[in-house]
Structure 1
């Protein structure tokens, strides 16, 4: 049941938000991937809006737009709670191929198209390595998604116009 007062957070690309009961996190995805993590006992969790699979070695400082850095941030949050990663519910969304290649720009667009798949693959690999169990996923396709994640019950509502 939705609380009387809801703190509504819109997560920008590359953002990460960690909050508690009474919060709804929402975002809009294309080739990016949203990781939604929620603890059913504490009713806390967060979302990361992943833009790229891995931080390049030329970038010295961590940033949550990279899958590897976002997962590390979440692991730190789990540790502060004194909880194991496997006790969190994990759901991922996004990773769409947003561009259709044509003969003129086939190679350029192919690199862009593959980023959604690479983001999904990186996130799945990293959460498995961190012993986080993936409980739901809606990835791939060719359309954007709107994601609404409520921290009072861990539910995720997704709008996807091409799959409606």
Structure 2
């Protein structure tokens, strides 16, 4: 007899990475940060990270971009621990808002975060299913690991 999985709710904060199994709920609140969700095509396992590169788009591969790299590598290791290859998984990308539209009229930290995430997933060879990024809103993200897509709610500034 196998042990039954106890469903969990995991709330991610900036810098966090989590793995969930079918039925677990992963959630976070995003401003300029970006969340990446990676899941196997059958949606039996999923990982989520909450990252910020904190650099303008011209310098994304600096030290703080490295922190985002570490988050993605951690997601890859978590998936591998369950027998999945991240490149064969599917992704969702959320966040990257401009939280200071009155102060920042050009590229924002949010834009840099989105560009980093899209480039990193392309380099990984992971198919992106959906993107909800940019604008002047917070995003409340919730995903119960399973067949449904993550739910995102825009929260005005």
**Per-residue CA shift, 1:23-46, capped at 9, x if unaligned?**
101100000000011113361111
The equivalent residue for 1:30 is 31
Q: How far apart, CA to CA, are the structure 2 residues paired with 1:42 and 1:28?
A: 22
Comparing 40-49 with 90-99, greater Cα deviation is found at 40-49
The equivalent residue for 1:86 is 87
**Per-residue CA shift, 1:116-160, capped at 9, x if unaligned?**
000000010011101111110000001100000111335201110
Q: Which runs of no fewer than 5 residues in structure 1 stay unpaired? A: none
SS of 2:125's equivalent in the other structure is coil
> TM-score under structure 1 normalisation?
0.77
The equivalent residue for 1:19 is 20
Question: Which of residues 142, 150, 153 in structure 2 aligns to 1:148?
Answer: 142
Q: Which runs of no fewer than 5 residues in structure 2 stay unpaired? A: 1-5, 54-59
Are residue 123 (structure 1) and residue 124 (structure 2) matched? no
- Find the structure with the greater CA-based Rg: 1
- What is the aligned-residue RMSD (CA, Å)? 2.4
Q: How far apart, CA to CA, are the structure 1 residues paired with 2:11 and 2:121?
A: 23
Using the TM superposition, give the Cα deviation of residue 83 of structure 1 relative to its aligned residue in structure 2, in angstroms: 2.8
**Per-residue CA shift, 1:29-72, capped at 9, x if unaligned?**
00000001111336111110012155618xxxx7xxx3211111
Using the TM superposition, give the Cα deviation of residue 161 of structure 1 relative to its aligned residue in structure 2, in angstroms: 3.4
The equivalent residue for 2:11 is 10
Q: How far apart, CA to CA, are the structure 1 residues paired with 2:139 and 2:61?
A: 22
> TM-score under structure 2 normalisation?
0.80
Are residue 132 (structure 1) and residue 133 (structure 2) matched? no
CA contact (8 A) 2:15 2:71 kept: no
The equivalent residue for 2:63 is 56
The equivalent residue for 1:67 is 68
The equivalent residue for 1:158 is 152
